[in-house]
Structure 1
């Protein structure tokens, strides 16, 4: 009993020590440490519900995945909403750019069940609504798509207002923006993309985050596995080839993904339900 208690205390010390160097939220890191592999639902569980809808977030929660990825844009009057595209056409019954319409105008629209498909009963949700649905149930990966960068602060303000600092990842396409955005709220965990080993080393040298997006160009399995063992969390997408094949032929293709990228801890997918079946089989 004493030995088990000592091990638990030691683990908490290690997590706390790591978090002081990498990663802003100790609580978020603790959640990730509960499992060796996590699934992220791309734009929510959008095979079953309209992408970036409240229903898609709720479905991701129901499926038991760890993370839901949503896209953030701002309306003409500055309301933060969930929307991937710059234009409304593909995913809603509207037309034109999101930033050229007021929130009231966008609320009159309906989300499409599928891309360019039939209208659903669902409306475009606000970021506030999305955060409230997710709170305490799932980590939210915020993919900030808005061109007007001043809305980054407003996004951070909403996260803080909803008390979600320990439940949010903020994705960055350019890791060089990390120091500036980090200052807005050091408790929010930044999640940058690395496009090369040089980028990866530069990110780690900043000592701001331990959660990093990689792509299929990363092949140094030995080095990346060592980094994983040191507490670095690598995120990769199965979007595209792997997801397409899984959608057509079944989930077994994902086993080859895991064999090829054994250093991965978080996987973003269009088929979270299939990935959950794979993980449940281990």
Structure 2
């Protein structure tokens, strides 16, 4: 492993847990918010390059490729918090009457026992829709939840990585909601940036949401290949992390051997200079090549070959310190075995 990946970690400062609402489960016997400590590590990349943060895709719904929980569910959020996962990714859409709700697809068909477009249902009507576990179609007791409810469920325990399925400007509304729930440090917002125009939009949005809400760019290597532009992005919006997409669209092609331009030595140097994390997604996309957004090195290559070092280790060697996955439990176990996880110091 490269020497700079083993920097000694240091943390100074704690904040009392402000999650007092009965609908937001608390850290047992602790006066410190774990999500605040996670937020501190998110904003201090260079202090924590020997600790790899784990993000549960759709809140964590699979084990060994099989759905075991409803995606974007409270059950998934609770499991993530209990498992030591740092962030849950939640997908955001809007009901007919304008309420932000948690839903991945444009329609309700795949993930609930209802049918039709989310945007055609009022919140009251959506409350009648039960979440189902994909594959088995097992109906759960959970109903479609609002973003506010999901935020309260996660508050104090895990950060929420927002996958916004709406117009970019909805990020401003989401930030305001987080702030109203005393959760400005509990969410991470993001936007795809691929040219100067998108960077200007990102700058406008970051100014509107305010400096207390974390915001990062999504950079894909079909459009972003120049480290100079990567540095311009980082200097313009000063993000704590950059989510990287390393495309692999041909299942018959060789998998990546170098991580692509976004993980080149120059790109890594930009991240270190700007105290930012590099983030990769190893989860699969339905009916697409394994590891499509990770150069072919995805979760099920890691699990099927029994060589997670060829996936997770490959990216960590190239500077990645945040991994979003469909297999968070397996990833955490491997990271701990490699000495790449550091406990969160919670005081009594």
TM over 0.5: yes
Question: Which residue number in structure 2 is paired with residue 156 of structure 1?
Answer: 175
Question: Which residue number in structure 2 is paired with residue 29 of structure 1?
Answer: 43
- Do 1:44 and 1:56's aligned partners in 2 also have CA atoms closer than 8 Å? yes
- Do 2:42 and 2:277's aligned partners in 1 also have CA atoms closer than 8 Å? no
TM-score (ref. length: structure 2): 0.68
- Do 1:49 and 1:59's aligned partners in 2 also have CA atoms closer than 8 Å? no
Question: Which residue number in structure 2 is paired with residue 136 of structure 1?
Answer: 156
Distance 1:227 1:146, change over 3 A: same
Aligned to 2:245, the other structure's residue is in SS state: coil
Distance 1:219 1:150, change over 3 A: closer
Q: Map residues 33-52 of structure 1 onto 2, 5 A cutoff.
A: 33-34=47-48, 36-47=51-62, 48-52=68-72
Distance 1:94 1:238, change over 3 A: same
Distance 1:115 1:208, change over 3 A: farther
**1:236 lines up with 2:280 in the alignment:** yes
Question: Which residue number in structure 2 is paired with residue 65 of structure 1?
Answer: 85
- Do 1:43 and 1:68's aligned partners in 2 also have CA atoms closer than 8 Å? yes
Structure having the higher helix fraction is 1
2:126 and 2:97 mapped to 1: Cα distance?
11
Question: Which residue number in structure 2 is paired with residue 224 of structure 1?
Answer: 267
- Do 1:27 and 1:166's aligned partners in 2 also have CA atoms closer than 8 Å? no
- Do 1:90 and 1:115's aligned partners in 2 also have CA atoms closer than 8 Å? no
Distance 1:228 1:202, change over 3 A: closer
Q: Map residues 45-124 of structure 1 onto 2, 5 A cutoff.
A: 45-47=60-62, 48-115=68-135, 117-124=137-144
Displacement of 1:53 in angstroms is 0.7
**1:194 lines up with 2:253 in the alignment:** no
Distance 1:33 1:89, change over 3 A: farther
Aligned length: 261
Deviates more, 1:229-238 or 1:84-93: 229-238
1:107 and 1:67 mapped to 2: Cα distance?
26
Q: Deviations over 1:181-229 (max 9, x none)?
A: 1122222111111122335233123143131111224365322332343
Distance 1:126 1:219, change over 3 A: closer
Q: Deviations over 1:133-173 (max 9, x none)?
A: 211111111111124x5543331221111111112110212
- Do 1:69 and 1:140's aligned partners in 2 also have CA atoms closer than 8 Å? yes
Provide the aligned C-alpha RMSD in A.
Answer: 2.7
Please identify runs of 4+ aligned residues in structure 1 that moved more than 6 A: none
**1:185 lines up with 2:209 in the alignment:** yes
Structure 2: unaligned runs, 5 residues or longer: 1-7, 13-38, 63-67, 247-259, 285-289, 291-297, 339-348
Aligned to 1:197, the other structure's residue is in SS state: coil
